[in-house]
Structure 1
Amino acid sequence: CALPISRVWGGERGGVALFALEQDEYFDRAGVYGEGGVDYADSLERFVFFSRGAVELARYVEPTPEVIQVNDWQVGLVPAYVQALGLPMKTVCTVHNLAYQGEFSAEDFRKVGLPEGAFRPEGVEFYGKMNWLKGAIRMADGVTTVSPSYAREIQEKEQGRGLEEVLRGRGERVTGILNGIDVVAWNPATDGCLPKSFKVGSMAGRVECRSALEREMGLEPANGRPIFGMVTRMAGEKGVDLAWGGVKEIVKQGGRLVVLGAGDRAMEEEGRKLAQEHPKSVAVRVGYDEGLARRIFGGVDFFLMPSRSEPCGLTQMYAMRYGAIPVVGRVGGLRDTVEEWDGERETGTGFLFEPTAEGLAGGVDRALAIWNEPAMMKKVRRNGMTRDWSWAAAVPAYEKVYQALVNERGS
């Protein structure tokens, strides 16, 4: 397809050269991918433009890039463009969530500007359709995912979303690298969204944050009743239905639940209904408010993530950073970031469970078992707050992938 004219902006930050493509017709919009839960109708044209533009930019900037890093299906055609043009750059595709693959009809292939030979099983074709993520996985020189466990899971049928054989076919080219978080931006000692700051060794402010959260969410003040929190997209893969199914038991055992999130309309409505049924114990806010999210992280006792699939997950890391003890599904990045509490050794940062109704009940029971043990609660909380959740480990891991690919050029 014909590409519109765009403007290229350049700059530098921290010694790193930065470039941006400006094209208001495609990208000066209210949403990034769509609005109201619906993708933009011209998604194909938008991301063909972005992908082609990025490749053209890489061709002409100096020094010439050695590696092009692409993320998810929206730029999944970049490896195909690089191959078609015979460019010397290596490409790495990072899969953040295999559920989103960028599928288009075979007829749409003529719009992407690739040679006919690219529409084949070794390229972007997948069961008669064009699949951008599959093409990137197949054609990139390296493939990474956002956690080691997710890298293993997506090579099996249960989590592979139909691409498990394609991924297994890449063998050692598939690497799982755990994401980090911005520990400067997410710091309870300096977070202006919290009513009171706190840090390890000085936790009085967290007690005030807890009381303030009770007031903000309309919960009955009760120091003796634990608060579970969720900040989530309301979807089946996030296990929100499991959480709703466990509400009555949580309340029966003296717990309370605060939830912030949006997504599936039926799940939103069910959450509102549960809040009406338990007005003093359950509070649900539909939508997203980063300030409130931070106050939930800094005010709840336990952070609940009953995910059935979780490529990496960041909220459990935010929660631990802010002193909330995670109670999470044993999947993906949750498995890699949350260590099961061991009371005898006093090691671990939270509780993991199989993402089923029975598993959730067991995880909640284990969390409640330490609620009346202040010394134990303090130790688990401290373990989570003192872990290094930064990008310190991920950066050299990516560098290792890039360097290995660059070295191949000279071998």
Structure 2
Amino acid sequence: GYGDDAERFAYFCRAVLTMLPAVGFKPDIIHCNDWHTGLMGVFLKEDFRHDDFYKDMKLVYTIHNLKYQGIYPPSIMRDIIGLPQELFDKGNLECDGCVNYMKSGLVYADRVTTVSPTYAQEITYPYFGEGLDGYIRANRGKVSGILNGLDVDAYNPETDPYIKKQYSVDTARADKRENKDALRAELGLRIKRGVPLIAMVTRLVEDKGLDLVMRIMDELVDDEVQLVLVGTGDAGYEDAFRELAYRHPNKVSANIMFNEALAHKVYAASDMFLMPSRYEPCGLSQLIALRYGSIPIVRETGGLKDTVQPFDKYSKQGNGLTFPNFNAHELLFTTKRALGYYEDDSLWDQLVRNAMTSDYSWNQSADAYISLYESVLQL
């Protein structure tokens, strides 16, 4: 967010490489993340590789969100990067006439990962590709997706110090109700048995699908439900939720803030968790919601599609509810279907059990990264 970000991160990448022999550490693989480290591979392979110390090093590059690319004028090739203009002219660092740090990271990486398998496929299409989809399609052989894991110690309802009543999958029904009543009292919502609590903990930005929520929120709160929001972001969304809470003080609580303790309380208290993202490279909120038995209602995109399986009331399989299209009424109908399930105690208990026993810890993700690293060393 600074005016000299181009210089900051170019310097950072060069400093990391320069530091290695000075501290006596020679990595087999350097794993870079997002546009900020996009020049690491450029410097490694175009400048440092002449030194025997660096010649066998491999580079893995992870995209967390392709939207943020680090785009700067071509003059920085000379002024900041200090490498030959021909690298820009060949397209190694260039995209649409500018130096693009993200593009550079992709070009010079031995392997590229995203933070979910579905997002790895989505970014090959123009809608998700942010102008780089052509390059990604041409190099899809080196692109794969590995889900982010969840810190299951930091987010554990059995030990969470922030919540009123700690609970397990076996005690969730009664103990979540106690957490819900405590949160309602704290936020000034009406305490009434049998009324479901729907939550959102999110950045208030367009990417999170808030336009869909805006279109249905009046119709949604007409039902016997309560809505709790925690987050900050664009002023238009902040004001809209404040106004909704003003009109429905017993049903809606808009907490325009980032508050870690309150977020934990909301996960523990809520029955359902809305996440209708326009796109979502991985998403952690739905993983936290699953862990706390708050049933995710998500759009089928990116990591949301990979982690939330639609619940089938006949087979009793699945851990949440999903809808495919970016459409407000699909979100509304899916939420109403969840409210219908909520009225059936045995059905809802099974859905909560499925959610809380879903395993999205780092164990599986770590194994996938180890396999990736082993394959990179064979290149």
TM-score (norm 2): 0.95
The question of whether the paired residues in 1 share the 8 Å contact of 2:146 and 2:369 is answered with: yes
Q: Partner of 1:225 in structure 2?
A: 195
**Paired letter, 2:17:** V
* 3-state secondary structure, aligned to 1:234: coil
Letter in 2 for 1:218: G
Corresponding letter in the other structure for 1:379: Q
Structural mapping, 1:172-251, within 5 Å: 172-203=141-172, 204-251=174-221
Q: Could you tell which deviates more after superposition, 290-299 or 241-250?
A: 241-250
Q: Which has the higher helix share?
A: 2
Higher strand residue share: 1
Conservation of the 8 A alpha-carbon contact between 1:122 and 1:139: no
Match for residue 144 of structure 1?
113
Q: CA RMSD in A?
A: 1.2
Identity among equivalent pairs (%): 39
Report 1 or 2 for greater relative contact order, CA contacts < 8 Å, sequence distance ≥ 6.
2
Whether 2:262 is the aligned partner of 1:292: answer: yes
* Count, aligned residues: 370
Match for residue 70 of structure 2? Answer: 102
* Aligned: 1:384 with 2:355: yes
Q: How does 1:6-45 map to 2 (within 5 A)?
A: 39-45=1-7
Match of 2:96 among 124, 127, 142: 127
Deviation at 1:355?
2.5
User: Aligned with 1:393: secondary structure?
Assistant: helix
Deviation at 1:379?
A: 0.6
Whether contact under 8 Å (1:341, 1:350) holds in the other structure is yes
Which residue number corresponds to residue 297 of structure 2?
Answer: 327
Secondary structure (helix, strand or coil) at the match of 2:227 reads: strand
| Correspondence for 2:44 | 82
Q: Could you tell which deviates more after superposition, 264-273 or 243-252?
A: 243-252
Instruction: Using structure 1 for the length normalisation, give the TM-score.
Output: 0.88
1:182-202 Cα deviation digits (max 9, x unpaired) = 101110110100011001112
Correspondence 1:47 to 2:9: yes
Shift of 1:57: 2.2
Q: Which amino acid aligns with 1:130?
A: V
Say yes or no: does 1:275 pair with 2:245: yes
Distance apart, 1:118 and its partner CA? 2.4
Match of 2:235, as an amino acid? R
Amino acid at match of 2:60: V
**Residue 350 in 1 paired to residue 320 in 2?**
yes
Partner of 2:60: helix, strand, or coil? Answer: strand
1:69 paired residue number: 31
The match for 2:334 among 345, 363, 367 is 363
Counterpart-to-counterpart distance in 2, 1:391 and 1:243 = 31
C-alpha distance in 1 between matches for 2:290 and 2:226 = 19
Q: Does 1:307 align with 2:277?
A: yes
The separation in 1 between residues aligned to 2:197 and 2:171, in whole angstroms, is 21
Q: CA deviation at 1:116?
A: 2.5
Superposition deviation, residue 388 in structure 1: 1.1
In 1, the alpha carbon distance for the partners of 2:200 and 2:328 equals 17
2-side partners of 1:356 and 1:223: how far apart?
Answer: 31
Is 1:407 equivalent to 2:378 in the alignment? yes
Cα drift, residue 171 of structure 1: 2.0
5+ long unaligned stretches in structure 2? none
Q: Find the residue that maps to 1:316 and give its secondary structure.
A: helix
Give SS of 2:62's match.
Answer: strand
Cα offset for 1:95? 0.2
* Equivalent-residue separation in structure 1 for 2:361 and 2:330 (angstroms): 30
1:92, 1:140 within 8 Å by CA — same for their partners in 2?
yes
Q: 2:129 maps to which residue?
A: 160
Partner Cα separation in structure 2 for residue 331 and residue 362 of structure 1: 18
Contact 2:216/2:329 (<8 A) preserved? no
Which residue of structure 1 aligns with residue 369 of structure 2?
398
Q: 1:286 to 1:348 in 2, by over 3 A?
A: same
Partners of 1:217 and 1:113 in 2: CA distance: 55
Q: Which moved more, 1:53-62 or 1:135-144?
A: 53-62
> Counterparts of 2:90 and 2:126 in 1: how far apart (Å)?
19
